[in-house]
Amino acid sequence: MAEQVKYTDDNIITLEGVEHIRMRPGMYIGRLGNGNNQGDGIYVLLKEVVDNSIDEFAMGYGKQIQIRIEDNEVSVRDYGRGIPLDSVVKAVSILNTGGKFDDKAFKKSVGLNGVGTKAVNALSERFYVCSYRDGECSWARFERGELKESGKDTTKEKNGTLVRFYPDTMMFGEFHYNMDFVETMVKNYSYLKRGLTLVLNDTPYKSENGLLDLVNENLSEEPLYPPIHLEGEDIEIVLSHGNAYGENIASFVNGQNTRDGGTHLAAYREAIAKTLKEFYKKNYEPADCRQGIVGAISIQIQEPNFEGQTKTKLGSNYMWEKQTRDEHGQLKLETGDTIRSYVNKFVATELDNYLRIHKELVPVIEEKIKASQQERIEISGIQKKTRERNKKSNIYNRKLRDCRFHFNDKVTEKTQENIEKSSIFITEGDSASGTITRARNAAYQAVFSLLGKPMNCYKESRKKVAENEELNLLVNALGVEDDLDGLRYNNIIVATDADDDGMHIRMLVLTFFMKYYPDLIRRGHVHILQTPLFRVRNKKENRYCYSSEEKEKAIKALKAGVEITRFKGLGEISPDEFSDFIGEGMRLDQVTLAEEESIADIMDFYMGVNTVERQKFITANLRSEQELEDVNI
């Protein structure tokens, strides 16, 4: 019988100030991380501070924002109105406090929950804020969310706010800011806020043509026609088509980059297909209308509802939504157009008008749609025959060890949390797949076993790739035969051995995704599993090390009498050990693809004919086997 635990008043705990943020940071910034992933928390902290400055500009105050990152310390200075002087401490340290609850002071802002700057304060080793208003300033200094000192002074500084912070190493470990990620964030802000200059480490960024600049500057391949740029009240769109596979559409709400899309992106994708079908008066498949599309959408709405504090996906259904009271004091909800109807009406009217004026584009777009349609029908037939053949041979069941999440909708594992954690490990060989299968959490982790090295898709036709049994089964397991909306797992994790063959298999799998399913990478679904290279242990403790540097530190920490094991294959790690590496603390490297990167150029460099440039790259980045070999085994 379980031990009885008393439940008394002593068990009721109230967390003061920002304690809850430090205890549950994931609720506020999504994830921690060390800066290797563009979704890591240190970038969320930066974004939260810059968002406040962007909102000031959106309200008509301040045309420049200065951002500086030196030795991982961040400072952001805007020239807006400045925080009201008597509220500076409250605004950055007391939850659910802020000016954005008042839509008179802030309209169509990004942040509305009164949490952002408090999270930055709570998760920083040191945090400083100073507000300048009409010759006076109010400042405060914090450490890990705790107020250390504050005061008021006179000043000659221009109105605005300065925030300076250093993320907490207790939370983020040995973090670093990837300036490529930061530069992309700053550029996106400039594209969305014409007239605003953002200065990052003394380099200014300013856009004259909004989203059109974003798409033109990020085009990695020549489009089939000059991008179409349409603007209206609270909406701006750009679109063109290219010859690459997939859809590459950036989306924004109130200046916020919604990497995970949401209702506005879904509406835009629907509107493009619907408008083109009606324009050509033919029942084309939506996927054919959007194949190879390159574009962007930005909308401005009142009181956006984002899914999660990190604001990467829009959940709102209406352009504006407000609770009011009638003459009897009863609450009622007032709403504007739905986002879906608003976007559909705008695209239907403006894109139709544009095509009627620019008649030279009409045959170009339809030829692209027809080519996509013909290829889709041909490939679909091949995939169907391959699937039927595989079902007869029962090979599918031998290659995929699915999770309970998928073959029983009624099980308790089908929660929103497990939907986000749902993963498929792509590995090679019976030994590795067997280890992962025994170590995984079968509620939401699946395993797909490759038979040797998959086809190199770099120079192969789409038809030949579709005929390949191995890749066809992988596509079927992922659920993306027809559309990425059918994706069955949130995380696609490539798990291969840390040797030459393992690296080659990894590159072949990534080449397949990059060429035919680039949106899986753009949407952040594809990852590389990090597994330890070494185990260093003595009689009391085991330490797993992911690099030679970590190994040397472990040897020094455990001192004499250590035993060192070098893992050369996943199958060499016991399932009991491996469960630690694919659990809550699983280390993943997200595969990223910048908007401006050419997929064709990347694949040619890594998978094409061997060149002097590639040889130099390998030589510069190669770690010798001697570096990885054990000592004193």
Per residue in 461-479, pLDDT (tens digit) is: 788 888 888 888 888 888 8
pLDDT of residue 112: 40
More confident residue, 214 or 36: 214
Residues 70 and 143 in one domain: yes
Q: Is the pTM of this model over 0.85?
A: no
**Within-domain flag for 5:** no
Residues 581 and 481 in one domain: yes
More confident residue, 230 or 415: 230
Residues 55 and 38 in one domain: yes
Give the domain CATH number at 200. Answer: 3.30.565.10
Residues 267 and 163 in one domain: no
- What would the mean pLDDT of 447-453 be, rounded to a whole number? 86
pLDDT per position as a tens digit, 570-616: 777 888 888 888 887 788 888 877 655 556 666 666 666 666 666 66
pLDDT per position as a tens digit, 508-541: 899 898 888 888 888 889 999 988 888 888 888 8
pLDDT band at residue 494, thresholds of 50, 70 and 90? very high
Task: Tell me: pLDDT of 618 over 60.
Answer: no
Number of domains in the chain: 3
pLDDT of residue 396: 53
Q: In this structure, are strands 73-78 and 64-70 parallel, antiparallel, or unpaired?
A: antiparallel
Structural domain ending residue among the three candidates 205, 223, 256? 205
Residues 430 and 554 in one domain: yes
pLDDT of residue 15: 47
Task: Tell me: pLDDT of 204 over 90.
Answer: yes
Cβ pair 369, 284 in contact under 8 A? yes
Task: Tell me: pLDDT of 496 over 60.
Answer: yes
Residues 201 and 222 in one domain: no
**Burial environment of residue 165 by CB neighbours within 10 A (0 to 12, 13 to 18, 19 or more):** buried
CA distance 224 to 221: 9
In the chain the first and final C-alpha atoms are separated, in Å, by: 47
- What would the mean pLDDT of 394-423 be, rounded to a whole number? 68
pLDDT of residue 371: 92
pLDDT of residue 273: 94
Residues 78 and 124 in one domain: yes
pLDDT band at residue 457, thresholds of 50, 70 and 90? confident
162: β partners? 77, 130
**Within-domain flag for 167:** yes
Residues 197 and 307 in one domain: no
pLDDT of residue 201: 94
Angle between helices 179-192 and 41-58 (to 10 degrees): 20
- What would the mean pLDDT of 496-504 be, rounded to a whole number? 80
**Within-domain flag for 3:** no
Closest C-alpha to 121, from 21, 15, 14, 200: 21
Task: Tell me: pLDDT of 99 over 50.
Answer: no
Give the domain CATH number at 428. Answer: 3.40.50.670
pLDDT per position as a tens digit, 340-392: 999 999 999 999 999 999 999 999 999 999 999 998 888 888 777 776 766 65
Task: Tell me: pLDDT of 556 over 70.
Answer: yes
pLDDT of residue 613: 67
Task: Tell me: pLDDT of 247 over 60.
Answer: yes
- What would the mean pLDDT of 419-446 be, rounded to a whole number? 87
Angle between helices 263-280 and 339-357 (to 10 degrees): 40
- What would the mean pLDDT of 143-160 be, rounded to a whole number? 91
**Within-domain flag for 387:** no
Residues 177 and 236 in one domain: no
Task: Tell me: pLDDT of 424 over 90.
Answer: yes
Task: Tell me: pLDDT of 405 over 90.
Answer: no
**CA distances (Å), 611 to each of 600, 603, 618, in order?**
16, 13, 11
- What would the mean pLDDT of 25-34 be, rounded to a whole number? 75
CA distance 2 to 498: 44
Q: How many CA atoms lie within 13 A of 107 on its CB side?
A: 8
> What SS3 class is residue 567?
coil
Closest C-alpha to 256, from 146, 111, 356, 135: 111
Residues 410 and 338 in one domain: no
Structural domain ending residue among the three candidates 156, 190, 205? 205
Closest C-alpha to 497, from 451, 419, 428, 435: 428
Task: Tell me: pLDDT of 308 over 70.
Answer: no
Cβ pair 263, 197 in contact under 8 A? no
**Within-domain flag for 367:** yes
Structural domain ending residue among the three candidates 157, 189, 205? 205
Q: At 68, which helix (H) or strand (E)? A: strand 64-70
Task: Tell me: pLDDT of 6 over 70.
Answer: no
Mean pLDDT of the chain: 81
- What would the mean pLDDT of 163-185 be, rounded to a whole number? 90
pLDDT band at residue 486, thresholds of 50, 70 and 90? confident
Task: Tell me: pLDDT of 310 over 60.
Answer: no
**Within-domain flag for 397:** no
Domain assignment of residue 49, given as a range = 19-205
Give the domain CATH number at 259. Answer: 3.30.230.10
pLDDT of residue 381: 80
Residues 240 and 196 in one domain: no
pLDDT of residue 503: 82
Task: Tell me: pLDDT of 139 over 80.
Answer: yes
The angle subtended at Cα 80 by Cα 79 and Cα 83, nearest 5°, is: 115
**Within-domain flag for 381:** no
3-state secondary structure string across 581-601:
HCCCCCCEEECCCCCCCCHHH
Output the DSSP codes for 246-311.
S-EEEEEETTEE-TT-BHHHHHHHHHHHHHHHHHHTS---HHHHHTTEEEEEEE--SS--BSSTT-
- What would the mean pLDDT of 417-423 be, rounded to a whole number? 79
pLDDT of residue 596: 53
- What would the mean pLDDT of 317-324 be, rounded to a whole number? 70
pLDDT band at residue 333, thresholds of 50, 70 and 90? low
More confident residue, 179 or 408: 179
Residues 194 and 290 in one domain: no
Q: What share of the chain in percent tops pLDDT 90?
A: 26
Task: Tell me: pLDDT of 4 over 80.
Answer: no
**Within-domain flag for 289:** yes
